[in-house]
Amino acid sequence: MPRVPPEKRDYDHERALEKKKPGAFERRMERQRARRALDKKGVDRTGKDVAHVKSLARGGSNADGVKLESPKKNRTFARLSSGKPKAKYDK
């Protein structure tokens, strides 16, 4: 079966949806400030993500500190506060 090419993304629509979320702009700016601060210090962040020590989703900020992490580790949101992965299926 031939692979179907994905539809083109409507970036304007995605941006409009993002603007509607409360606090989305502030969180995006916090992330951007953290990246720029590391760039200003001269840190080579090639292939790494700038992660907040206390995630922005849990009420953190740049004042709590930032660190470099692999993208795989930084983008794993299915973690409990203990750091262990959530079970795929509840029994």
Q: What are phi and psi of 30, to 5 degrees?
A: -60, -45
The answer on pLDDT for 80 being more than 60 is no
Tell me: pLDDT of 79 over 60: no
Strand, coil or helix: 3: coil
Nearest to 47 by CA among 73, 21, 9: 73
Domain ranges, ordered by start, for the chain = 11-74
Residue-level length of the chain: 91
pLDDT, tens digit, 9 for 90 and up, residues 7-33? 888 999 988 988 888 888 888 899 999
CB atoms within 10 A of CB 52: 22
Let me know if 58 is exposed, middle or buried by CB neighbors in 10 A (0-12, 13-18, 19+).
exposed
User: CA 80, CA 87: separation in Å to the nearest integer?
Assistant: 10
* pTM attached to this predicted model: 0.64
